[in-house]
């Protein structure tokens, strides 16, 4: 062999080996050292702002979500403003809810908005065919909802009826709520007592068009969407409407692909995605008395959100590389069997530490994908599924999920800080999940927040956070935790789970060192 060739090959081998060595060393440095997970939080000027709308909520005409939840009527003995409970208004204001989706869900595609305006005694009744077959008297309608959003200081997100409505009906709704000048619908609004338009920005064009919204194929819906979007426009031409297409069910990537391919991007403000953390649709398990097997299955479904948003976003990137169209996860959360003794169609369930972990880990995923995920809505706000608020007549409780949402509200509108780490594993029955979930952000005032979730139901996790690059000095921390993962707040013991101060950390050589208990959510704050 030629000596030069020999030297060349030898050099290449050495080079490849050292690249491997460097790789191994870097990996090891982010891997556990003495079972410690090392997380580095970095600065990156190019990283996105976390849209506040990721922290959105959802209120459907379902069970005791609206009636007996938000809305008790203005003759109720429960303190209210125009029929909406004052205690709920206060609690949601504290959460800083950025948007509220209404009136469904499946209900939206059976809802005819004109039934819910004008004098209440003249409003027709309908049957809520999706949720318990109960009679709906339409006493909570457009004015009630939009005025309530003003009280809450939140943006309304209206879901239009595509499944059983008409284009004209939805176009009229836009004119009714948004047009300031003289027109048939704005005159009607004024007759009904509201002079100024509400200027609703977010419009869903149907809901679950692949299912309760009409059992459409993706191709058929894409055409329907184009037709609706043509007429659902801003009457004052200020370009202020965000039209959101009914999106995929979990991993139905073909749905997203078909919509992205067939709808002109200028007609599309966002594409939705629905994913519930359900163990098995025919055996969803109890919300409170669950086994580790069921806990693990719920968490597997919750953490699947990482793969779902990654893959749906990758499809969107192909057609919209500048990321102008939002991915809107407008239904997410845990779904269990209803509480014993409650109406099956009302979807009333308790909310435990399992739900707190589910919420914390899911919100971390959304934060970390905030370059594309710009809106999300937890299902649902009051008394339905993974609710943040439960009511029983005059009583109201805040759930563990409420407290996680409250803790995480600091991420709203803050700049995402990239993080690097290798999660330890939570292993059960030979299956594993990442045990630690993290996201970080820096707000306008320079405060840095790092939210950390320990998904492992058995083991605490030692964590070392390298903050030298972001130069944080004074740290404080809060935690949502409890003794048992099944723990929850009840009407008799409403404060069992709350946000508490967390002191189990220290700062050493530019690192924060902490041990996070099993099934806990921690928020670090520093400047």
The residues annotated as belonging to the active site are 208, 331
CB of 211 to ligand AHR, least distance (A): 7
* Using rule CB under 6 A, residue 106 touches ligand AHR: yes
Residues 124-163 that bind ligand AHR (CB under 6 A): none
Among 69, 105, 141, 360, binds ligand AHR (CB under 6 A): 105
Site string for ligand AHR, 190-229 (x = CB under 6 A): -----------------xx---------------------
Contact 382, 18 (CB under 8 A): no
d(CA 427, CA 433): 6
Give the relative orientation of helices 167-178 and 142-152 as an angle to the nearest 10 degrees. 50
Contact call for residue 349 and ligand AHR (CB under 6 A): no
| Interface with ligand AHR, residue 355, by CB under 6 A | no
Which of the ranges 102-110, 119-127, 298-306, 480-488 carries the binding residues for ligand AHR, by CB under 6 A? 102-110
Is residue 331 a contact residue for ligand AHR (CB under 6 A)? yes
Site for ligand AHR, residues 403 to 462, rule: CB under 6 A: none
Q: Smaller CB distance to ligand AHR: residue 60 or 144?
A: 60
Q: How far is the CB of 130 from ligand AHR (least distance, A)?
A: 7
Question: Which of 54, 60, 248, 410 is close enough to bind ligand AHR by CB under 6 A?
Answer: 60
The count of residues interacting with ligand AHR (CB under 6 A) is 10
Measured from the CB atom, is 385 or 440 closer to ligand AHR?
A: 385
Supply the minimum distance, in Å, between the C-beta of residue 208 and ligand AHR. 5
Distant-in-sequence, close-in-space partners of 415: CB < 8 Å, separation ≥ 6: 47, 48, 49, 50, 441, 442, 443
Q: How far is the CB of 380 from ligand AHR (least distance, A)?
A: 6
Residue 345 host element (H or E): none
Give dist(CA 264, CA 258) in Å, integer.
11
Q: Which of the ranges 103-111, 192-200, 307-315, 396-404 carries the binding residues for ligand AHR, by CB under 6 A?
A: 103-111
104 binds ligand AHR (CB under 6 A): yes
Residue 383 within binding range of ligand AHR, rule CB under 6 A: no
In angstroms, give the least distance from the CB of 399 to ligand AHR: 16
How many Å separate Cα 435 from the centre of its chain? 21
Mode of pairing for the β-strands spanning 419-420 and 36-41: antiparallel
Any bridge partners for residue 377, and if so which? Answer: 56
Phi, psi of 279 (to 5 degrees): -70, -50
Indicate the residue among 281 and 322 with the shorter CB distance to ligand AHR.
Answer: 281
Among 37, 177, 380, 406, binds ligand AHR (CB under 6 A): 380
- With the C-alpha atoms ordered 52, 396, 62, 285, is the resulting torsion angle positive or negative? positive
Q: Is residue 165 at the binding interface for ligand AHR, with CB under 6 A as the rule?
A: no
Answer for the pair 477, 495: CB distance below 8 angstroms, yes or no: no
Q: At what angle do helices 400-408 and 86-95 cross, to 10 degrees?
A: 40
Q: Which of these, 8, 55, 131, lies nearest to 366 by C-alpha position?
A: 55
| Other CB atoms within 10 A of residue 24 CB | 11
**Closest separation between CB of residue 267 and ligand AHR, Å?**
23
| DSSP string over 490-525 | -SSSTTSS--EE---EEEETTEEEEEEPTTEEEEEE
Q: Which residue is nearest to ligand AHR (CB)?
A: 105
By CB under 6 A, name the binding residues for ligand AHR: 60, 104-106, 207-208, 331, 379-380, 385
């Amino acid at each position: 062999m030629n000596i030069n060739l020999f030297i060349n090959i030898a050099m290449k081998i050495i080079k490849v080996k050292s690249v491997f060595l460097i790789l191994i060393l870097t990996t090891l440095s982010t891997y556990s050292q003495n079972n410690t997970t090392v997380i580095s939080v970095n600065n990156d000027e190019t990283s996105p702002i976390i849209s506040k709308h990721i922290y959105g909520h959802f209120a459907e005409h379902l069970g005791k979500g609206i009636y007996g939840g938000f809305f008790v009527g203005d003759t109720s003995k429960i303190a209210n403003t125009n029929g909406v409970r004052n205690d709920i208004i206060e609690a949601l204001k504290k959460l800083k809810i950025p948007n509220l989706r209404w009136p469904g869900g499946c209900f939206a595609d059976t809802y005819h908005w004109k039934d819910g305006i004008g004098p209440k005694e003249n409003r027709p009744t309908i049957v809520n065919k999706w949720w318990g077959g109960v009679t709906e008297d339409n006493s909570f309608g457009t004015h009630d909802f939009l005025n309530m959003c003003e009280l809450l200081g939140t943006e309304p997100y209206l879901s239009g009826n595509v499944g059983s409505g008409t284009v004209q009906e939805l176009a009229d709704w836009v004119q009714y709520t948004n047009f300031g000048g003289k027109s048939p619908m704005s005159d009607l609004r004024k007759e009904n007592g509201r002079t100024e338009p509400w200027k609703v920005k977010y419009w869903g064009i149907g809901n679950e068009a692949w299912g309760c919204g009409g059992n459409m194929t993706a191709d058929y819906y894409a055409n329907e969407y184009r037709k609706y979007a043509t007429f659902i426009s801003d009457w004052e031409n200020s370009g202020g409407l965000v039209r959101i297409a009914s999106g995929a069910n979990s991993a139905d990537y073909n749905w997203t692909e078909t919509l992205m391919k067939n709808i002109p991007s200028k007609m599309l403000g966002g594409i939705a995605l629905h994913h519930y953390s359900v163990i098995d649709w025919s055996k969803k398990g109890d919300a409170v008395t669950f086994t580790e097997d069921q806990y693990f299955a719920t968490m597997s479904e919750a953490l699947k959100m990482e793969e779902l948003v990654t893959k749906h976003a990758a499809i969107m990137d192909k057609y919209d590389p500048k990321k102008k169209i939002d991915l809107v996860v407008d239904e997410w959360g845990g779904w269990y069997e209803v509480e014993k003794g409650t109406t099956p169609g009302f979807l009333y369930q308790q909310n435990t530490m399992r739900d707190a972990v589910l919420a914390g880990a899911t919100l971390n995923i959304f934060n970390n994908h905030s370059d594309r995920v710009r809106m999300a809505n937890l299902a649902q706000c009051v008394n339905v599924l993974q609710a943040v608020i439960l009511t029983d007549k005059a009583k109201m409780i805040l759930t563990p999920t409420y407290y996680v949402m409250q803790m995480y509200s600091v991420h709203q509108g803050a700049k995402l800080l990239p993080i690097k780490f290798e999660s330890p594993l939570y292993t059960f029955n030979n299956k594993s999940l990442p045990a630690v979930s993290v996201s970080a952000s820096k707000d306008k005032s320079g405060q840095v927040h790092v939210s950390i979730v320990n998904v492992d139901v058995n083991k605490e996790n030692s964590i070392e956070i390298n903050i030298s690059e972001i130069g944080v000095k004074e740290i404080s921390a809060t935690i949502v935790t409890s003794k048992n993962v099944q723990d929850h707040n009840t009407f008799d013991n409403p404060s069992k789970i709350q946000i508490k101060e967390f002191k189990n950390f220290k700062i050493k050589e530019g690192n924060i060192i902490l041990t996070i208990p099993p099934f806990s959510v921690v928020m670090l704050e520093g400047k």
